[in-house]
Each structure stands twice: as C-alpha cells, then as structure tokens.
C-alpha cells in the first residue's frame, strides 16, 4: 500500500468542487477512506485550510472539516527539527520545505501536490499531481 503525503492544495481541491483538481483529489481521499492508500498531512495544512475557508464556511463548519481530516489522515508532528530543516530544504518556499521534511519523516512514497513549483524541484522524493497518481492506479 502506498503512503501518500497530501499537500494542502490537494485537500482544498477536495473541499472546493469548483477547483480544477477536485475530481482527482476526491478519488485520492476516497482511496484513503477505503484503506487503498495511507494518507498523511502536516498540521500546517490544517491551519491553512481553517484560515483559507474562513470566508466560505462558518467556524463550526471549518472545525468539522478539520475533525474529519484528523480522523482519516495521519498527522505528521512538526517539531523544532522539522522547522529547522525546512529552512534549508531544497525548495523556494518555507511552507513547501516544511511539507517536504514532514513527508520524509513520514516515509511517504509520494508527495501528492498540484503545486507546479513543488514539482519543479529536484528532490529525493517523488512528487506527483493528484491526476498523475489517480491515472497511475488505473
């Protein structure tokens, strides 16, 4: 079974049906719920989602969303070492650095992200789009 580290944008694609990657993100979340893949995220993603959805969802709706993700996905703890290593990760964005280090700590097989910038880095971990992963499973 593959272990997937899901970037924040994949969760947003799942939650917002108007987003381009919604269909593929939905399939990945379904695979996770059905125990076909193991999914994990960093707490950074949960904080970002709670903040980003503040204009579309009530506080209770956002809490319910966070709770459902906590129930179906493993949360990779962020500690001092991850915060330090994220500063020096071979990516341009610090948030992506944290995500990358969390994925490594979780021993993920793939980072699933629709962030094209993330995909452009030469990392020692496979980065794949949600569409690419779904098609790979077909």
pLDDT digits (tens, 9 = 90+) for 38-77: 999 999 999 999 999 999 999 999 999 999 999 999 999 9
Q: Is the pTM of this model over 0.95?
A: no
- Residue 126 pairs in a beta bridge with 110
Q: Domain of 115: which CATH number?
A: 3.40.50.1010
Partner residues linked to 4 by β-bridges: 39, 110
Per DSSP, what are the bridge partners of residue 59?
none
How far CA 50 is from CA of 36, 105, 107, in Å, comes to 27, 24, 26
Class of residue 125 by CB neighbours under 10 A (exposed 0-12, middle 13-18, buried 19+): middle
What's the mean per-residue pLDDT of the chain? 93
Residue in this structure with the two tokens 């580290």, named with its chain if needed: 5
What domain range includes position 79?
A: 3-136
Number of domain units in the chain: 1
Cα diameter, the chain: 40
pLDDT at 137: 87
């Amino acid at each position: 079974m593959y272990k997937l580290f899901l970037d924040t944008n994949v969760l947003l694609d799942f939650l917002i049906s108007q987003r381009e990657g919604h269909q593929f993100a939905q399939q990945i979340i379904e695979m996770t719920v059905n125990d076909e893949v193991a999914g994990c995220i960093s707490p950074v993603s949960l904080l970002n989602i709670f903040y980003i959805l503040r204009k579309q969802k009530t506080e209770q709706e956002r809490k319910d969303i966070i709770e459902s993700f906590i129930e179906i996905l493993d949360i990779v703890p962020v500690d001092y070492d991850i915060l330090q290593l994220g500063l020096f990760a071979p990516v341009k964005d610090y948030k992506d650095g944290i995500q990358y280090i969390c994925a490594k700590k979780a021993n993920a097989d793939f980072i699933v992200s629709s962030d094209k910038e993330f995909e452009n880095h030469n990392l020692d971990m496979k980065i794949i789009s949600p569409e690419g992963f779904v098609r790979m499973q077909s």
